[in-house]
Amino acid sequence: MQDDDPVKLRRRDIITGLVGSGISLALPACANAPERSLRPPLKPAQSADAIVSRAGLGGDIAYALLDMRSGDMLEGRGANIGLPPASVAKTVTALYALEKLGPGYRFITRLMATGPVEGGVLRGDLVLAGGGDPTLDTDALAGLAARLAQGGVRRVEGRFLVWGGALPAIEQIANDQAPQAGYNPSVGGLNLNFNRVHFEWARQAGDYRVTMDARSDRFRPEVRLARMQIANRASPLYTFQMARGVEQWSVARGALGNSGSRWLPVRQPDIYAGEAFQALAAAQGVSLPAPERARAAPQGQTLAEHRSDSLTELLRATLRYSTNLSAEAIGLTATVAGGTMPRNLSASGAAMTAWARARYGMSKLSMVDHSGLGAASRVSMSDLANMFRRAGQEGALKPLLREHPFRDGNGRLMPAQPFEVRAKTGTLYFVSALGGYMRSPSGREMAFAVCSSDLRRRARVVGSGQDRPEGTAGWARTARRMQQDLLTRWARAYS
How large is the average pLDDT for residues 38-59? 79
What is the structure's pLDDT at 8? 31
pLDDT at 68 over 90: yes
Model confidence at 42, in pLDDT bands (50, 70, 90)?
Answer: low
Residue 432, strand partner residues = 427, 452
Number of domains in the chain: 2
How large is the average pLDDT for residues 381-386? 98
For 84-143, how does the pLDDT look when each residue is reduced to its tens digit (9 = 90+)? 999 999 999 999 999 999 999 999 999 999 999 999 999 999 999 999 999 999 999 999
Residue 439, strand partner residues = 420, 445
Which strand (E) or helix (H) includes residue 388? helix 381-394
pLDDT at 325 over 80: yes
pLDDT at 18 over 60: no
pLDDT at 65 over 70: yes
What is the structure's pLDDT at 25? 32
The reply to whether 392 and 478 lie within a common domain is yes
The reply to whether 295 and 171 lie within a common domain is yes
Residue 455 in any domain: the answer is: yes
What is the structure's pLDDT at 250? 97
Residue 151 in any domain: the answer is: yes
The reply to whether 334 and 475 lie within a common domain is yes
3-state secondary structure of 2: coil
Domain boundary among 287, 307, 327: 307
The reply to whether 297 and 320 lie within a common domain is no
pLDDT at 408 over 60: yes
Residue 76, strand partner residues = 64
Residue 3 in any domain: the answer is: no
The reply to whether 327 and 456 lie within a common domain is yes
For 177-199, how does the pLDDT look when each residue is reduced to its tens digit (9 = 90+)? 999 999 999 999 999 999 999 99
The reply to whether 460 and 338 lie within a common domain is yes
What is the structure's pLDDT at 466? 86
Range of the domain at 35: 11-102+311-493
pLDDT at 1 over 70: no
Model confidence at 43, in pLDDT bands (50, 70, 90)?
Answer: low
Residue 6 in any domain: the answer is: no
The reply to whether 452 and 487 lie within a common domain is yes
The reply to whether 389 and 454 lie within a common domain is yes
Distance separating alpha carbons of residues 283 and 146, to the nearest angstrom:
9
Residue 137 in any domain: the answer is: yes
Residue 398 in any domain: the answer is: yes
How large is the average pLDDT for residues 438-465? 94
Distance separating alpha carbons of residues 476 and 462, to the nearest angstrom:
15
pLDDT at 202 over 90: yes
Q: For the stretch 258-292, what's the b/e string if a residue is b when 16 or more beta carbons lie within 10 angstroms of its beta carbon? A: eeeeebbbbbbbbbbbbbbbbbbbeebebebeebe
Q: Which of 7-16, 164-173, 269-278, 288-297 has the lowest mean pLDDT?
A: 7-16
Model confidence at 19, in pLDDT bands (50, 70, 90)?
Answer: very low
Higher pLDDT: 390 or 205? It is 390
Model confidence at 464, in pLDDT bands (50, 70, 90)?
Answer: confident
Contact 225, 213 (CB under 8 A): no
The reply to whether 383 and 262 lie within a common domain is no
What is the structure's pLDDT at 414? 80
Model confidence at 38, in pLDDT bands (50, 70, 90)?
Answer: very low
Residue 169 in any domain: the answer is: yes
Residue 91 in any domain: the answer is: yes
Domain boundary among 250, 280, 307: 307
Model confidence at 438, in pLDDT bands (50, 70, 90)?
Answer: very high
Domain boundary among 307, 341, 359: 307
Model confidence at 417, in pLDDT bands (50, 70, 90)?
Answer: confident
3-state secondary structure of 200: strand
Tell me the backbone φ, ψ of residue 163, rounded to 5 degrees: -130, 120
Query: The domain spanning residue 53 has which CATH number?
Result: 3.40.710.10
The reply to whether 320 and 285 lie within a common domain is no
The reply to whether 435 and 413 lie within a common domain is yes
pLDDT at 291 over 80: yes
pLDDT at 40 over 60: no
pLDDT at 397 over 90: yes
pLDDT at 446 over 70: yes
Distance separating alpha carbons of residues 342 and 336, to the nearest angstrom:
7
Model confidence at 29, in pLDDT bands (50, 70, 90)?
Answer: very low
pLDDT at 173 over 80: yes
What is the structure's pLDDT at 495? 84
For 227-269, how does the pLDDT look when each residue is reduced to its tens digit (9 = 90+)? 999 999 988 999 999 999 999 999 999 889 899 999 999 999 9
The reply to whether 130 and 278 lie within a common domain is yes
Model confidence at 44, in pLDDT bands (50, 70, 90)?
Answer: low
pLDDT at 411 over 50: yes
Distance separating alpha carbons of residues 83 and 356, to the nearest angstrom:
16
How large is the average pLDDT for residues 266-295? 98
pLDDT at 31 over 50: no
Instruction: Strands of 58-184 (E only): list them.
Output: 60-67, 73-77, 108-113, 117-118, 121-122, 126-129, 155-156, 160-163
Mean pLDDT of the chain: 90
Helix boundaries (H) for 72-126: 89-101
Q: For the stretch 451-488, what's the b/e string if a residue is b when 16 or more beta carbons lie within 10 angstroms of its beta carbon? A: bbbbbebbeeebeeeeeebeebeebbebbbbbbbbbbb
